[in-house]
């Protein structure tokens, strides 16, 4: 089983790990980590990293840690920590008792920094941030050494301790690694290791006045946790040299960093900064708005974790950046929901149907399977009576070619119930369809054709008297452009927001659908997949559209119009 899944998931990362194991590196152990910064909610891109890190660990019989990379007190919050835990667990990430925080290591990281100073490999620099930038040079010009670069060790130690004690204002000094101001790799031109911040940290409070930089804290955290393979995204390729330098200079245990391509998706932004902006400026209703590419948004929309797993498996892990089609994600969602979602009937844009030859006060109940292909779902009873609702769109006074639904004189099947023929369409004086009058064939009970006569259309319906009113939130893509970041001159990605990303309609649902638990996803037959939302109240269930069904008719219609 294990080797099987390993074979299926052959990619360059697994190949590198195989090679390490074959060469006897890391004592045959695989230990990864997922290292989110708690400065926002996790999104689809993180799902890729989660499945990769936890997946690799489990395939090789190893472990994966959850590590909060909380080295920037200004942007981090405990609420994000909680949300991140929930999201990782939702995707099946199991970190056991190995939940760590970079801030747990602040004392060790500090001690390592003093050691670097003693080794003559770090110094306190009094240049301002602007000066440091200016001294750094460019890709074509070497940098210049800071006048403070050759401070004696004792002076560096003294200043660094006083930085820690909070004696200096923010921005007045930093601790820098002493590497090479002429390195062709800009990252190696005496990178900053510590900066002064008199901020409140969500876990360590006011106890620190200096905070380690990501590049310094990350490699040492990996080392302290005994990580074997530190998997990160491509933008850290140039940082690997520094990762290795810190660990080699300190002569500590040395994990291996391997970079892979970030996930990019059409019609989607996956930058935390932009997602925060969408939330703060009210373009969406919070982090878990079903239009958000956040894991909590996808969950609320009704996307099953298995669909995300399938999606990430399909796109694979590569070394080169690329952009994945949004439709591929939708495809994976439909695939999984087709198997896992029970079916039910709901009408979103109703028109009343009166069956003139059906008894006034009769109610029949039809037993319908919850799933057409899987009997283990069981069945439910659906009431039928003289007045029904069907979709307004399922009727045309003058049917276009290949329209196999209801129109005057045409017979259709009401799913699992009866065959009915439309006798009259009633309009109001504004030309709006008011109701449809039909007759039914009592011999067609269950929706069977009694004499083999051909009936092409099958419609879903709800009994008007028994229907429960519900709210349907019809979500569409949040951005109308495949590349939201490409905005007109002078504008931002916000200019590409889809003004029709949410349409709310009143729906009528069959009674059994009102009782499903919130968070459950069902297929409204012929309409789409819908997830019962936590906003539901008994008087008004709320359903979020997870994804539409492929509507071949709509496509055909569009083609004939174009």
> Is residue 484 involved in binding ligand ATP (CB under 6 A)?
no
What is the contact mask toward ligand ATP in residues 246 to 275, using x (rule: CB under 6 A)?
A: ----------------xx------xxx---
Which of 124/263 has CB closer to ligand ATP?
263
- CB-nearer residue toward ligand ATP: 45 or 304: 45
Nearer to ligand ATP, 275 or 438 (CB): 275
The answer to whether the beta carbons of residues 266 and 291 sit under 8 Å apart is no
A 10 A CB-CB count for 246 gives: 25
Contact set for ligand ATP, span 271-310 (CB under 6 A): 271-272
The answer to whether 49 contacts ligand ATP (rule: CB under 6 A) is yes
Q: Find the catalytic residue in 272, 300, 413, 477.
A: 272
112, 118, 119, 124 alpha-carbon torsion, rounded to 10°: 80
Strand pairing category for 210-212 and 192-196: antiparallel
Nearest 5°: CA angle at 99, between 191 and 200?
Answer: 55
- Is 262 among the residues known to form the active site? yes
- Which listed range, 35-43, 128-136, 162-170, 411-419, lies at the site for ligand ATP (CB under 6 A)? 35-43
Burial (CB count within 10 angstroms: exposed 0-12, middle 13-18, buried 19+), residue 11: middle
The answer to whether 257 touches 13, Cβ cutoff 8 Å, is: no
The contact mask relative to ligand ATP for 53-72 (x = CB under 6 A, - = no) is ----------------x---
Q: What percentage of the chain's residues is helix, strand, coil (to nearest 5)?
A: 35, 25, 40
User: Is 46 a residue that touches ligand ATP (CB under 6 A)?
Assistant: yes
**Residue carrying structure tokens 């495949």:** 482
Active site residue 465: no
Helix (H) or strand (E) holding 258: strand 256-260
Count of residues that interact with ligand ATP, criterion CB under 6 A: 15
Q: Whose structure tokens read 């968070």?
A: 519
Instruction: Find the part of the chain contacting ligand ATP (CB under 6 A) among 5-13, 33-41, 338-346, 419-427.
Output: 33-41
Residue whose C-beta lies closest to ligand ATP: 45
**DSSP states along 62-98:** -EEEEEE----TTT--HHHHHHHHHHHHHTT---TT-
Q: Which residues pair with 364 in a beta bridge?
A: 384
Written as six digits, the tokens of 142 are 């070497």
Active-site residue flag, 37: yes
DSSP symbol at 517: P
Nearer to ligand ATP, 109 or 231 (CB): 231
- Minimum CB–partner distance for residue 47 and ligand ATP (Å): 8
- Is residue 476 close enough to count as binding ligand ATP by CB under 6 A? no
Q: Does 536 bind ligand ATP (CB under 6 A)?
A: no
Q: Which of 37, 115, 131, 349 is catalytic?
A: 37
In terms of CB distance, is 55 or 528 closer to ligand ATP?
Answer: 55
Among 88, 163, 220, 232, binds ligand ATP (CB under 6 A): 232
Active site residues: 37, 262, 272
Residues in contact with ligand ATP by CB under 6 A are: 35-37, 45-46, 48-49, 69, 232-233, 262-263, 270-272
């Amino acid at each position: 089983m294990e080797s099987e899944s390993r074979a299926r998931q052959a990619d360059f990362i697994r190949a590198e790990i195989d090679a390490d194991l074959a060469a006897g590196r890391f004592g045959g152990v695989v230990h990864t980590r997922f290292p989110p910064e708690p400065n926002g909610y996790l999104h689809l891109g993180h799902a890729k990293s989660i499945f990769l890190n936890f997946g690799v660990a489990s395939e090789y019989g190893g472990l994966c840690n959850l590590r909060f990379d909380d080295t920037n007190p200004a942007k981090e919050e405990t609420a994000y920590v909680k949300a991140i835990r929930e999201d990782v667990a939702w995707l099946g990430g199991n970190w056991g008792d190995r939940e760590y925080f970079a801030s747990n290591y602040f004392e060790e990281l500090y001690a390592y920094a003093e050691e670097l100073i003693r080794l003559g490999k770090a110094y306190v620099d009094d240049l301002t941030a602007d000066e440091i930038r200016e001294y750094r040079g460019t890709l074509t010009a070497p940098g210049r050494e800071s006048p403070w670069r050759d401070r004696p060790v004792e002076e560096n130690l003294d200043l660094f301790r006083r930085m820690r004690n909070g004696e200096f204002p923010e921005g007045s000094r930093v601790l820098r690694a002493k590497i090479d101001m002429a390195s062709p790799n800009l990252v190696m031109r005496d990178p900053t290791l510590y900066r002064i911040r008199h901020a409140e940290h969500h876990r360590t409070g006011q106890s620190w006045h200096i905070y380690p930089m990501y590049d310094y804290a990350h490699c040492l955290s990996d080392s302290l946790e005994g990580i074997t393979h530190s998997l990160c995204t491509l933008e850290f390729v140039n940082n690997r040299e520094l990762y290795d330098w810190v660990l080699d200079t300190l002569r500590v245990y040395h994990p291996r960093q391997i970079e892979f391509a970030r996930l990019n998706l059409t019609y989607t932004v996956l930058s935390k900064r932009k997602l925060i902006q969408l939330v703060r400026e009210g373009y969406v209703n919070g982090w878990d708005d079903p239009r958000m590419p956040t894991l909590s948004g996808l969950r609320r929309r009704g996307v099953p974790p298995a669909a995300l797993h399938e999606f990430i498996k399909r796109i694979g892990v590569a070394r080169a950046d690329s952009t994945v089609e949004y439709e591929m994600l939708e495809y994976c969602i439909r695939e999984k929901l087709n198997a896992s979602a029970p079916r039910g009937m709901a009408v979103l844009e109703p028109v009343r149907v009166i069956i003139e030859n059906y008894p006034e006060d009769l109610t029949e109940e039809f037993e319908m399977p919850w799933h057409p292909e899987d009997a283990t779902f069981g069945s439910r009873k659906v009431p039928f009576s003289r007045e029904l609702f069907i979709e307004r769109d399922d009727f045309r006074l003058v049917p276009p070619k290949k329209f196999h639904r209801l129109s005057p004189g045409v017979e259709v099947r009401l799913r699992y119930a009866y065959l009915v023929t439309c006798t009259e369409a009633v309009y109001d004086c504004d030309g709006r369809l008011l109701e449809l009058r039909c007759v039914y064939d009592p011999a067609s009970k269950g929706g069977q054709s009694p004499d083999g006569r051909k009936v092409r259309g099958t419609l879903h319906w709800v009994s008007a008297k028994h229907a429960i009113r519900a709210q349907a939130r019809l979500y569409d893509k949040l951005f109308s452009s495949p590349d939201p970041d490409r905005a007109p001159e002078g504008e931002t990605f916000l200019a590409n927001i889809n003004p029709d990303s949410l349409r709310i309609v009143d729906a009528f649902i069959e009674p059994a659908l009102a009782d499903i638990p919130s968070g459950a996803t069902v297929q409204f037959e012929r309409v789409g997949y819908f997830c019962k939302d936590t906003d539901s109240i008994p008087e008004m269930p709320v359903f979020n559209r997870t994804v539409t069904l492929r509507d071949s008719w709509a496509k055909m219609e569009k083609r004939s119009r174009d």
